[in-house]
Amino acid sequence: MQRINFCNLIYPSNKVPLSFIQLNDWSCIRIDGVDNKKYLQGQITINLDLLPYNKHIFCAHCNINGKIWSTFHLFYCRNSYMYIERTDVSLIQIFELKKYSIFSEVIIRKDNDVLLFGIVGNGSRQILKKFFLKLPDKDNSVICHKSAILLWFNSPLERFMLIIKKNNLMLSKIINCFSQISTSDQWLSLDIESGFSIISKMTTNKCSPLSVNLENLNGIDFNKGCYFGQESIAKIKFKSANKQSLFWLISCYPSTIIPKIGSLIELDKENNWYIVGYVLIAISMYNGYIWIQAVLHKNIDLKSNLRIFSEVNNLFFVHKKF
């Protein structure tokens, strides 16, 4: 058995090594029952009638005012709708999703019997081929095996998510094929690059799906029937009233200070600082630079100097606007 290295260093997609990633900060939620599709259809931002059984999609669950409870990757497998979301927001989101289910035959629960892992880097497909006859790809981004579920992502590079039972004997064999196990932050960094908005407990019920890149990822359907928040979201869309966008920021120099989720962000304008948004997630990269996913005023100058509220020496620049 080869020795496995536990790595805390987080790499960008163009440098990421072959890695097995522990997704301890994510959870798998299941919606079962004969009314699962009908019930979920009235809750989320996409049209389930248009979701192929072999695809997953990034979408949101909102409150009545069109503010996001959570964003997640949703798919269908073996008569169940399932989605992957941040663990720290799952209790809140599940509670809100269950609120109106008393008259529907539906069971909504966190699946505590499975573990989630990311697999990324050159050679990841070859390793998975040793254990699964069929792998997901651009035409079939969800493959449901008897022993596990595999999701395929093409952004910012080919990567896989493995959803597997805790007691599955195959798991240890898969792990032994890797020399490195990485933390959840490695997956987070790839989500930041991809423009998948990360909604956590501190930022739930705060922003519109139009302000966090959901429309660009086809995560909002403006033609389906009613769902929670639909009227507010449509009004923002068709009146061009959205004033925020998702941004990827990078620190101007290495730092040991990682901004907290929800921290306010200020912009320098004529030697005065003005609050223009807030932090969704922040991580420290292998080289000491800090990456931030943030919601900011969409019309800010992309060459602006930014900082965390009142932190004089914690400066950032815009790397990308989504």
Residue type, 161: M
pLDDT for position 47: 97
**Same domain for 190 and 247:** no
**Same domain for 272 and 165:** no
**Same domain for 248 and 173:** no
pLDDT for position 7: 82
* CATH code of residue 271: 2.40.30.160
pLDDT for position 1: 46
Domain annotation covers residue 213: no
Domain annotation covers residue 211: no
Q: Residues of the chain with pLDDT > 70: what percent? A: 99
What digits encode the pLDDT tens for the residues 74-107? Answer: 999 999 999 999 999 999 999 999 999 999 999 9
Q: Which of 154, 172, 194 is at the close of a domain?
A: 194
Per-residue HEC secondary structure of the chain comes to: CCCCEEECCCCCCCCCCCEEEECCCEEEEEEECCCHHHHHHCCECCCHHHCCCCCCEEEEEECCCCCEEEEEEEEEECCEEEEEEEHHHHHHHHHHHHCCCCCCCCEEEECCCEEEEEEECCCHHHHHHCCCCCCCCCCCCEEECCCEEEEEECCCCCEEEEEEECCCCHHHHHHCCCCEEECHHHHHHHHHHHCCCCCCCCCCCCCCHHHCCCCCCCCCCCCCCCCCCHHHHHHHHHCCCCCEEEEEEEECCCCCCCCCCCCEEEEEECCEEEEEEEEEEEEECCCCCEEEEEEEECCCCCCCCEEECCCCCCEEEEEEEC
What digits encode the pLDDT tens for the residues 121-132? Answer: 999 999 999 999
pLDDT at 3 over 60: no
What digits encode the pLDDT tens for the residues 161-210? Answer: 999 999 899 999 999 999 889 999 999 999 999 999 999 999 999 999 99
Residue type, 221: D
pLDDT at 4 over 70: no
**Same domain for 147 and 16:** yes
pLDDT at 2 over 80: no
What digits encode the pLDDT tens for the residues 18-52? Answer: 999 999 999 999 999 999 999 999 999 999 999 99
**Same domain for 152 and 75:** yes
Q: How confident is the model at residue 5 (pLDDT cuts 50, 70, 90)?
A: confident
How many structural domains does the chain have?
2
Q: How confident is the model at residue 271 (pLDDT cuts 50, 70, 90)?
A: confident
Q: How confident is the model at residue 312 (pLDDT cuts 50, 70, 90)?
A: confident
Q: For the full predicted model, state whether its pTM sits above 0.85.
A: yes
**Same domain for 253 and 183:** no
Cα–Cα distance between 308 and 169 in angstroms, integer? Answer: 46
Domain annotation covers residue 189: yes
**Same domain for 180 and 59:** yes
Domain annotation covers residue 154: yes
Task: Report the chain's mean pLDDT, rounded to a whole number.
Answer: 95
pLDDT at 17 over 50: yes
Domain of 40? 5-194
Q: Which of 133, 167, 194 is at the close of a domain?
A: 194
